[in-house]
Chain A
């Protein structure tokens, strides 16, 4: 909402400086977006006087003018206007100025061999009128002492731009803003004085509001103004319109806009002669069409509120008028409309048709239903003053009586909510200044809410009114108490934070990527999950919610590789989506690693990253989070986006149904399709929702400290097993032979090749044997050795390698 300070002062009597008013606006909740000169560009236009004009030597129609631009500066300007004569007061634009009409930037230029410093402007170039025949002629009586001054009067004053919250339609008019300021002590609200206007004859175009279901119009006020001469607006009106960045059109249109901005009372003017017999306000029928003032043809649905006549739709009530009945410069008789449309209906219609207009914006927020006549009065009076014409009696059609909302307000609520006291008298004064009717009844105030405040309907709204006018700085600061009754984080949240930092501590950079992704990339990782489409994505490559944490990681891995990074470790912890209902999401850690370990390292041999790097990071992370590695179980099944032979899943326990994590190499096909160029891409995922609460507090994690000081022995074994036989099974067999004796098992070699039959491999392990009870002698050890060999051979089909 833009307005100039002088406009504000038409409604507000104030001696306060601009800055105080600006601060007050902020204090009462009218956020000031900006407060600046209308446009520095307009400062470039100066009142100037031609002190000499002579014929251009090389062009008949051009003259060379010596122009006084004030401050004792005379410049030479080449001018083509026939009225460029000595002594003329006009408007000068210097080099660097931008001409409003065509946005052309002036430069010092040679015109037929003569250098011209700037330009003398026509009214059309200044967008003041369509007059382009000659340069602007200023009246000496008014301008002779203003040479060198800015031509645009309003650029000496400043324009305020407010961001009006949707609850305050009343402040979409300058008067509403003035009212708030007055209530807050920044001045006095001037009363509106209407000159008595003479009403001649009746409004003889019949208006009816049909009783359609959900009729969007409840009041339709109108008057006829006959015999007008539509024309350009007078300067004061043009300047007002221009100062707000709008374009003057014609007096009648400008006046309706002016009243809208002044009082937040939208109006519409019809060319009365173009109305076919009568006005009918009704619901539209599907398929009806009309051409709107934005020159677009709209096809209507059922039940939109339209203003129509016998020939069809004239306009969408409260949204946009139609070209068929629009006013023109030659319009002689007008019908002026001032109506009330229901916000819900306006919103529905404009959403469906995707129209946004000033009128729609205002009606959608709620126009004062009691301003119908005021609007007609103010506008018809201005029209008759400027354009002449006879004003008819007003015709007000209503299908619903407006009743002011009434609220019983107990003033103690104020202190209860705000924490500070304001005297009842002061509360009453504030409310009265805001337009409330107040009567006291015992402990309560009976309040009648002004009709321009559709946002106020209950006591809490009154608290807000009083506290914002009184000032938020009056609210005390109560220091918070430092006591805690409940744990800050629950188990799952603690796990989240723990795992996040645990993974990071293994050399991964945490990233945060969109929850959405490119469906083309998502398809590689989506498995059997449902694709979750966004109906209105921000761009076509961010069109689905991610089914996997890997789609974005893979995408950004490539981006970083393209930036020239080679060895990359990235991870993200966040949601993935299984379906499109609230709660259909899982929290997942995804980590991805590419390139080499010890690249170009002087003391270690470099090698590509492999799945045992990520397996280590994964297992260690789970261990750090308190899960018992001894019971982990690895399976070789994993999602299809992993390399089928180089990936696995981790179960917290052999009997668990769901894995808690996957690890492996990214499927080479995907790597190729995503054009990821690196030595290797491996990664892991942890599903936090599947990580059971291990219910172990740190104090419970510590079992009794048992140890043995008896001699321990180590024995090496090598078994030849089928190539697909799993080391995990071998370890499981050996460790369950005698849990009291077998302390640890380490695999130190895997061998295939010479001396090993095809389809077989050799697994070499080192077993540590130690008793809690005694030092084992040779025969004890021999016994356990034998037991290991026979058990392994029997249970796995392996053969001890001799």
Chain B
């Protein structure tokens, strides 16, 4: 008994030392190999008297278990240590840059068009479109702007033929005409798109964007117009309150006509919408002129309603603090990156316009 106890103590002590995997295996052989000390002890079992044999066998087995367990745990310990040390060697500089990121962007004009569509969608407008090349008839005459009307001078028109019958639309209003000619009232549409006037300076660009609105039904009056625009402007600029001013104006295709100003102030050189005592003109609107309704075969005694036209680029400039209109169309990579939007930022009714 004392022999095997000695073996046990001796080896447990050895195993507590810092060992490598070979030394542990060596110990394993010394104990449990063919001529190992424990193996040999088992061989002595037969020569023992019966009464001792039982006790010795029991002691030996428990010592064997204890040593084996110790060896296994030692082996595991070494393994973990080795893995750890290996992993330690694999350490990377995680601050190195990731693989190339190519983030695309959506142009502010497109983003603003989506924002506008989202807002008007909620109050029941659908989107219509029309061609960029228009006939003089759709662009002017059908909109109560006959050939001799001085209002035509206010649109510096690009013409595509010498007879001045074909032109680039100067506003999105011809979409009103096309929509009404192709359908039956009620009409409730917006029509965003490209528009063209031969004018170029810091606030004018030969191409720009407008969104037309048209709501025709039996009972749509100027109060609805005011409510609709008020809702739109508040939602678009994402403010609770907006200072808005309707001023009488003149457009041949609406009567009465109005221009709408919104209040703003300058804070740190930036325009803040909704407050302040300065006024900024942002759109033109009015009740669709009975002559226009007649021109598109809608009975003006039965139907009435409003139309409006808003400069999209200008809205974008105001909302996002962009100073120069021409920069919208100059494809400066830096500008596109700076003012562009992430393609996942899709304006929608349920998630709103902003994050």
- Give chain A's interface residues, CB within 8 Å of chain B: 26-29, 31, 165-168, 343-344, 347-348, 364-365, 416-420, 458, 460-461, 463-464, 467-468, 472-473, 475-490, 493, 497, 500-516, 532-538, 542, 545, 552, 556, 559-560, 563, 565, 568-570, 573-575, 577, 580-585, 597-598, 601-604
**Of B162, B196, B333, which is within 8 A of A515 by CB?**
B196
A493, A505, A552: which contacts B344 (Cβ < 8 A)?
A505
> B231: nearest residue on chain A (CB-CB)?
A480
Choose among B158, B250, B287, B346 the residue that contacts A536 (Cβ–Cβ < 8 A): B158
Complex Cα spacing A132 to B127, Å: 69
Does B198 have its Cβ within 8 Å of any Cβ on chain A? Answer: yes
A-B contact pairs, 15 of them (CB 8 A): A419-B221, A478-B226, A479-B227, A480-B231, A486-B126, A501-B344, A502-B343, A503-B104, A510-B336, A512-B328, A532-B160, A559-B331, A559-B332, A582-B135, A585-B133
Other-chain contact of A512, B227, B259, B329 (Cβ < 8 Å): B329
In the complex, B159 has a CB within 8 A of chain A: yes
Q: Is the CB of B328 within 8 A of A580?
A: no
Asked if B256 lies at the interface with its beta carbon under 8 angstroms from chain A, I say yes
Task: Flag if B230 contacts A477 (CB, 8 Å).
Answer: yes
Contact partner of B333 (CB less than 8 A), chosen from A419, A568, A582, is A568
In this assembly, does B1 line the interface, its C-beta being within 8 Å of a C-beta of chain A?
no
B124 touches A504 (CB 8 A): no
CB B92 to nearest CB in A, in angstroms, measures 10
Partner of A419, one of B120, B222, B290: B222
Q: Is the CB of B138 within 8 A of A582?
A: yes
A287 to nearest B CB, angstroms? 22
Q: Are A560 and B133 in contact (CB under 8 A)?
A: no
Within the assembled complex, what's the spacing in Å between the Cα atoms of A475 and B256? 12
The CA of A624 and the CA of B166, in the complex, are separated in Å by: 38
Max count, chain A CB within 10 A of own CB: residue among B133, B199, B230: B133
B contact residues vs A (CB 8 Å cutoff)? 96-97, 99-100, 102-107, 109-110, 114, 117, 120-127, 129, 131-135, 138, 148-151, 153-154, 158-162, 164, 166, 168, 188, 194, 196, 198-200, 206-207, 221-224, 226-228, 230-231, 246-250, 255-259, 287, 289-290, 304, 328-334, 336-337, 340, 343-344, 346
Task: Tell me, rounded to whole Å, the shortest Cβ–Cβ distance linking B123 to chain A.
Answer: 4
On chain B, the residues within 8 Å of A585 by CB distance are 131-133
- B104 and A509 contacting across the interface, CB-CB below 8 Å: yes
Q: Which of B103, B148, B199, B331 contacts A343, CB < 8 Å? A: B148
Query: CB distance B224 to A419 under 8 Å?
Result: yes
**Beta-carbon contact of A583 and B96 below 8 Å:** no
| A473 and B102 within 8 A (CB) | no
Contact status of A536 and B99, CB under 8 A, knowing A166-B154, A419-B222, A509-B333: no
Contacts of A533 in B (CB 8 A): 160
Q: Is the CB of B329 within 8 A of A29?
A: no
Contacts of A343 in B (CB 8 A): 148, 150
Known: A166-B149, A483-B124, A534-B160. A513 touches B329 (CB 8 A): yes
Q: How far is the CA of A577 from the CA of B194 in the complex (A)?
A: 14
Q: Which residues of B contact A503 (CB under 8 A)?
A: 104
Pairwise interchain contact A416-B227, C-beta atoms closer than 8 A = no
A504 close to B343 (CB less than 8 A): yes
Q: Contact: B304 with A560, CB < 8 Å?
A: no
The list of the 4 closest CB pairs from A to B, nearest first, reads: A507-B102, A29-B248, A419-B223, A165-B250
Which of A347, A416, A484 is packed against the most chain B CB atoms within 10 Å? A484
Complexed CA–CA distance, A518 and B168 (Å): 17
Distance in angstroms between the alpha carbons of A303 and B329 in the assembled complex: 45
A-chain residues with CB within 8 Å of residue B258 when the two chains form the complex: 472
By a CB distance below 8 angstroms, the chain B residues around A500 are: 106, 110
Determine whether the beta carbon of B246 is less than 8 Å from that of A510.
no
Q: Do the beta carbons of A481 and B123 come within 8 Å of each other?
A: yes
Known: A478-B223, A480-B227. A601 touches B150 (CB 8 A): no
Task: Kindly provide the distance from the CB of A335 to the nearest chain B CB, expressed in whole angstroms.
Answer: 29
**Cross-chain contact A489 with B117 (CB below 8 angstroms):** yes
Given contacts A473-B246, A501-B346, A598-B100, contact A509 B336 (CB under 8 A): yes
Contact in complex: B150, A365 (CB < 8 Å)? yes
Give A489's nearest chain B residue, CB to CB: B127
Bound-state Cα–Cα, A416 to B300, Å:
12
Enumerate chain B residues within 8 angstroms of A481, measured Cβ to Cβ.
123-124
A484 with B148: CB separation less than 8 A: no
* Inter-subunit contact B161/A514 (CB<8 Å): no
- Shortest B24–chain A CB gap in Å is 40
Contact of B256 among A468, A535, A581 (CB under 8 A): A468
Nearest to B206 among chain A residues (CB) is: A538
Cα A534 to Cα B96 in complex, Å, equals 54
CA distance A468 to B222 in the complex (A): 12
Chain A residues positioned under 8 Å from B106 (CB to CB): 500-501, 504, 510
Say whether A31 contacts B151, CB under 8 Å.
no
A580 touches B160 (CB 8 A): yes
Q: Which residues on the A side are within 8 Å of B231 (C-beta)?
A: 479-480
For B123, give the chain A residue with the smallest CB separation. A480
- Tell which of A27, A475, A506 touches B223, judged by Cβ atoms closer than 8 Å: A475
B222/A507 in contact, CB under 8 A? no
Tell me how far the C-beta of B277 lies from the nearest C-beta in chain A, rounded to whole angstroms.
Answer: 12
CB < 8 Å: which of A167, A168, A563, A602 contacts B96? A602
B224 to chain A, nearest CB (A): 5
Chain A residues, Cβ within 8 Å of B151: 166
Whole-angstrom distance between the Cβ of B69 and the nearest chain A Cβ: 42
- Report the nearest A residue to B334, measured CB to CB: A563
**Once the chains bind, are B207 and A515 in contact (CB under 8 Å)?**
yes
How many Å from the CB of B198 to the closest CB on chain A?
A: 5
**Residue pair B198, A509 in contact (C-beta under 8 Å):** no
For B333, list chain A residues within 8 Å (CB). Answer: 509, 560, 563, 565, 568, 570
A584→B102 CA distance, assembly (Å): 35
Chain B residues, CB < 8 A from A26: 247
Counting chain B CB atoms within 10 Å of each CB, which of A475, A545, A584 scores highest? A475
B120 — which chain A residues lie within 8 A by C-beta?
488
Please determine whether B104 and A514 come into contact, CB atoms closer than 8 angstroms: no
Give Cα distance in the complex from A182 to B329, angstroms.
Answer: 47
Chain B residue numbers with a CB within 8 Å of A167 are 250
Q: A364–B161 Cα gap in the complex (Å)?
A: 25
In the bound complex, do residue B124 and residue A535 qualify as a contact, i.e. CB atoms below 8 Å apart?
A: no
What CA separation (Å) do A533 and B159 show in the bound complex? 9
Are A487 and B126 touching (Cβ within 8 A)?
yes
Query: For A344, what are the chain B residues with a Cβ–Cβ distance below 8 Å?
Result: 148
A460–B290 touching, CB < 8 Å: yes
Cα of A583 to Cα of B158 in the assembled complex, Å: 17
Note all chain A residues with C-beta closer than 8 A to B117: 488-489
- What is the distance, in angstroms, from A501's C-beta to the closest C-beta of chain B? 4
Given A535-B162, A582-B133; A514-B207 close (CB under 8 Å)? yes
Q: How far is the CA of A94 from the CA of B123 in the complex (A)?
A: 63
Q: Is the pair A570, B96 in contact by a Cβ cutoff of 8 Å?
A: no
Q: Which residues of the other chain, A, contact B344 by a CB distance below 8 angstroms? A: 501, 505
Known: A480-B227, A481-B123, A501-B343. 6 other contacts (CB 8 A): A420-B223, A484-B121, A485-B188, A487-B126, A509-B337, A545-B168
Whether the Cβ atoms of B287 and A417 lie closer than 8 Å is yes
Contact B194 A603 (CB under 8 A): no
Bound CA span A537–B151, Å: 21
CB of B249 within 8 A of CB of A165, answer: yes
- A515, B168: Cβ atoms closer than 8 Å: yes
* Distance between Cα atoms of A480 and B231 in the complex (Å): 7
Question: With A168-B250, A475-B223, A556-B331 known to touch, is A580 a contact of B162 (CB < 8 Å)?
Answer: no
Q: Is the CB of B246 within 8 A of A472?
A: yes
Considering the chains assembled together, what is the distance between the CA atoms of A596 and B254 in angstroms?
55
User: In the complex, what's the smallest C-beta–C-beta distance from B110 to chain A, in angstroms?
Assistant: 6
A538 touching B200, Cβ below 8 Å: yes
Contact call B223/A601, Cβ cutoff below 8 A? no
Cross-chain contact A509 with B105 (CB below 8 angstroms): yes
Residues of B within 8 A of A420 (CB): 223
Residue of B110, B120, B231 with most chain A CB atoms under a 10 A cut-off: B110
Which of B96, B114, B332 contacts A603 (CB under 8 A)? B96
Q: Out of A364, A365, A488, A537, which one reaches B121, CB within 8 Å? A: A488
Q: How far is the CB of B301 from chain A (nearest CB, A)?
A: 10
